[in-house]
Amino acid sequence: MARLFGTDGVRGLANDKITAELALGLSIAAAQVLGEPARAVGRKPKAVVGRDPRASGEFLAAAVIAGLASAGVDVHDAGVLPTPAVAFLTADMDAHFGVMLSASHNAMPDNGIKFFAAGGHKLPDAVEDEIAALYGKDWVRPVGAEIGRVHRNRAGQARYVAHLLAALPNRLDGLTVVIDGAHGAASAVSPEVFRLAGADVFEIGCEPDGLNINDGYGSTHLEHLQEAVVTRGADFGIAHDGDADRCLAVDAAGEVVDGDQIMAILALAMKDRGALADDTLVATVMSNLGLLQAMSREGVTVLKTGVGDRYVLEKMREGNFSLGGEQSGHVIISDHGTTGDGVLTGLLVAARVAATRTPLAELAAVMTRLPQVLVNVKGVDTARVESDETLQAAVATEIVALGDNGRVLLRKSGTEPLVRVMVEAATQEQTRAVADRLAAVVKDCLASAPPVS
- Looking at 119-222, list the stretches that DSSP marks H as alpha helix, in order from N- to C-terminal side: 125-134, 156-167, 189-196
Residue 381 and residue 390: Cα distance in Å, rounded?
14
Tell me the pairing of strands 280-284 and 323-325. Answer: parallel
Instruction: Tell me, rounded to whole angstroms, the distance of Cα 360 from its chain centroid.
Output: 22
How far apart CA 53 and CA 42 sit, in angstroms, is 36
Do 226 and 197 contact (CB within 8 A), yes or no?
no
Name residue 419's beta-bridge partners: 377, 412
**Separation between Cα atoms, residue 453 and residue 440, nearest integer Å:** 27
As a three-state string, the secondary structure of 172-191 is CCCCEEEEECCCCCCCCHHH
One of 104, 187, 219, 322 is an active-site residue; which one? 104
Euclidean distance between CA atoms 206 and 318, whole angstroms: 37
Query: Is the CB of residue 18 less than 8 Å from the CB of residue 27?
Result: no
Distance CA 388, CA 409 (A): 15
Give the Cα separation of 323 and 85 in Å (integer): 18
Vertex 101 angle, CA 240 and 58, to 5°: 105
The answer to whether 102 is a known catalytic residue is no
Distance CA 256, CA 250 (A): 5
Question: Of 355, 325, 320, which Cα lies nearest the Cα of 340?
Answer: 325
Contact 324, 339 (CB under 8 A): no
- Annotated active-site positions, please? 104
